[in-house]
Amino acid sequence: MFPKDIIQEFLSEMSRQDVERKALIASVVSNSIFNFEMPKMEFPIIEVDYDRVKKIINKNSKYGWTLTQEIDFSYYFKDELVDSTFNQIDNHFLNFYSDNDWNFYHHTKNLILETINPKWTELLNECFDNFEQDRYKSIIPTLFSIIEGETAFIYQTTEAGKDLFETMKTETRNIEHELTKLTIYSLAEFLRWQLFGYQEFSKSRKSLINRNRVLHGRDDPIYWHKVDALRLINILSTVQLYSAKSKYTRLQQEVHNVAT
């Protein structure tokens, strides 16, 4: 669940931007080279369906499909995802990444390589090469390490595991752009409680791949699929949101299209 203050900040920000948008339109028209009187008009009140936004972000993020800076918002915020199963959501994003000869995957790959800590570049290129040659199982343990290491680097902390992800949640308070704030918070929750969450090895394996089972040698690679590797790539792209400050504007510009 998102804290109430984050929800209120999101709604306030949306209201403020709506007022600014109306003022800008009026200013542009009134200063036009055409000499005419601005007719009186009533702008429709834009109501943000925040419940819809929150439900879809929560549902997708629950399975590791966190919002990234480059994803197609119209595809990410499909209403039917709220009632979809784990496998249905996996197939939804697998189809999106692989469509048109894996076009969106290659786009995401290039953006990650542009923003990642340079120490990971060579290793990541090997991961991507293996993924593209269907040797995806071998890259899963490596991607777990890169996700945790890159997160610690971005947040400039020596913490690890659950403490690292609690730091992520705390740092969301300093993010000005509301959709980015919600996205990072949902990512931290997923990492803390699901992907990196504690699991008793004596109990049955869950459907979602888990870092502790994998890196402690308690998982069976027969259960690792290409979509699992893709899920980790998607998460790594979301991690980059906090550092790629120049990309924040794009998220903020599109939020009205998503939430109305």
Share of the chain above pLDDT 70, in %: 74
Query: What's residue 134's pLDDT?
Result: 97
Query: Angle formed by the axes of helices 178-190 and 161-171, to 10°?
Result: 170
Number of other CB atoms surrounding residue 217 within 10 Å: 8
* Residue matched to tokens 């269907």: 134
The string of pLDDT tens digits covering residues 48-82 is: 566 788 889 889 999 999 988 888 988 999 999 99
Do the domain assignments include residue 80?
yes
Do the domain assignments include residue 172?
yes
Do the domain assignments include residue 33?
no
Do the domain assignments include residue 203?
yes
Average pLDDT over every residue of 96-107: 96
The string of pLDDT tens digits covering residues 116-128 is: 999 999 999 999 9
Residue that wins the pLDDT comparison between 113 and 181: 113
- pTM, two decimals, is 0.76
Please say if the pLDDT value at position 98 is more than 90: yes
Do the domain assignments include residue 164?
yes
Query: What's residue 248's pLDDT?
Result: 41
Do the domain assignments include residue 220?
yes
- Residue 187 pLDDT level (bands cut at 50, 70, 90): confident
> What is the pLDDT of the chain when averaged over all its residues?
80
Calpha distance 19→47 (Å, rounded): 12
Of 47, 46, 115, 103, the closest CA to residue 72 belongs to 103
Average pLDDT over every residue of 42-48: 50
Calpha distance 5→23 (Å, rounded): 27
Do the domain assignments include residue 13?
no
SS (HEC) of the chain: CCCHHHHHHHHHHHHHHHHHHHHHHHHHHHCCCCCCCCCCCCCCCCCCCHHHHHHHHHHHHHCCCCCCCCCCHHHHCCHHHHHCCHHHHHHHHHHHHHHHHHHHHHHHHHHHHHHCCHHHHHHHHHHHHHHHCCCCHHHHHHHHHHHHHHHHHHCCCCCCHHHHHHHHHHHHHHCCCHHHHHHHHHHHHHHHHHHCCCCCCCCCCCCCCCHHHHHCCCCCHHHCCHHHHHHHHHHHHHHCCCCCHHHHHHHHHHHHHHHC
Is the Cα torsion angle 18, 23, 25, 28 positive or negative in sign?
A: negative
Which domain, by its residues, includes 63?
49-259
The string of pLDDT tens digits covering residues 221-232 is: 999 999 999 999
For the chain, how many structural domains are there in total?
A: 1
Average pLDDT over every residue of 136-161: 91
Please say if the pLDDT value at position 39 is more than 70: no
Query: What's residue 63's pLDDT?
Result: 94
Do the domain assignments include residue 15?
no
- Residue 20 pLDDT level (bands cut at 50, 70, 90): low
Query: What's residue 27's pLDDT?
Result: 54
